[in-house]
Amino acid sequence: MSIRIRRAYDPPQRGDGHRVLVDRVWPRGRSKKDLQLDEWRKEIAPSTRLRQWFGHDPARWKKFQQRYFTELERKQDSIPDLVRRAHHGRITLVYGARDPDHNQAVALRAYLRARAAGRKPRVR
């Protein structure tokens, strides 16, 4: 299973595979051409309320993951397709946040990997 993460402000790479924007809001200053996306899955992005509460504060990271995983459990119609795509080739989760370690793409990748393995996702 191959899931990469790439910031929307970094140039796409040849080996990215299927590129999926996982933000609820379009990244500022980026065009469709710049991002070279295959799809935009805003329905699996954290809710506006959760995103605003988190504010990309590393001190809230663990609690953010717990809450986001709970939200993802209610969005199961979108998850199997991403897991299937990752099994059959590389996918790249594209995000707009500045912090490369504390963002929804990092949490979503952990969630997808756990679900693909038949496990409950763990907060790290």
Tens digits of per-residue pLDDT, 6-63? 999 999 999 999 999 999 999 999 999 999 999 999 999 999 999 999 999 999 999 9
Is the pLDDT score of 78 beyond 90?
no
**Cβ-Cβ contacts under 8 Å for 14 (sequence gap 6 or more):** none
Report the C-alpha gap between 7 and 18 in whole angstroms: 14
Buried b (16+ CB within 10 A) or exposed e, 92-111: bbbbbbeeeebbbbbbbbbb
Computed over every residue of the chain, the mean pLDDT equals: 94
User: For position 36, what pLDDT does the model report?
Assistant: 96
How many other C-beta atoms can be found within 10 angstroms of the C-beta atom of residue 3?
A: 21
Asked if 15 contacts 8 with a C-beta cutoff of 8 angstroms, the reply is no
Is the pLDDT score of 72 beyond 90?
yes
Domain range annotation of the chain = 3-116
User: For position 112, what pLDDT does the model report?
Assistant: 95
Q: How confident is the model at residue 1 (pLDDT cuts 50, 70, 90)?
A: confident
Three-point CA angle 39, 109, 116, nearest 5°: 100
Is the pLDDT score of 94 beyond 90?
yes
Q: How far is CA 113 from CA 35, 48, 87, 107, in A?
A: 24, 24, 10, 10
